[in-house]
Chains A and B, each alone.
Chain A
Amino acid sequence: MKQASLLLALAASALLAGCVQIQAPDKPIEINLNVNIKQEVVLTLKKDAEDLVNNNPELFPQ
């Protein structure tokens, strides 16, 4: 019985910890286009985006 309640407490705390972890890094940012943009994805793509702009000057007139 004591073990069971200990397990339950462990499970509950694991669940809580899980919730916090999910919220912190993946918090979506709402912009007015109704799209959720993740900063993580943007950071991953930053170098690609830089190359894309530099390699297609005709699509990015000055």
Chain B
Amino acid sequence: MTLSPKTLALAGAAILVVGAAGIAYAQSAGAVSAALSSGEVGEQADGYLGFRSTPSDELRDEVDAINIKRRDVYTKLATQRGVTVRDVAVTVGCETLQKRVAIGRSYLLTDGEWRTKGEDPIVLPAYCGQ
């Protein structure tokens, strides 16, 4: 396969767009990362980020934006696999609770109670399996 100049130009444009999005993301990610570190924001068993305490409007907007993007990728995978978006979302919830919640950070289980991660692994909901 040979690449035409047009294809190369398109690829270049795509890289620029992705790069720009990356920079925009990097600017907004700071607030969410800080809120994750402080425990104000945490991972939920439903596969989305949530608020342990009432956030600022700015933080709420940023977390909402991430959750909307998450729902988009969940929806794509759900369509590919013929399952519900909720099925995908809770499976991702199992994954994030198991691997991506550092000690001292907040997480929300299905009982609706926020907890702080300690030394021990999070006791996952039964449907997560092992």
Contacts and interface: CB of A to CB of B under 8 A. Distances in A.
Contacts, number: 92
Contacts of A56: 69-70, 73
B59 interface: no
Nearest to B71: A59
Interface in B37-60: 45-46
A30 to B, nearest CB: 9
Contacts of B46: 33
Interface of chain A, main secondary structure: helix
Given A33-B46, A49-B94, A50-B95, A42 B87 contact: yes
Interface of B: 22, 25, 29, 32-33, 36, 45-46, 66, 69-70, 73-74, 77, 81, 83, 86-88, 90-92, 94-96, 99-100, 102, 110-112, 125-129
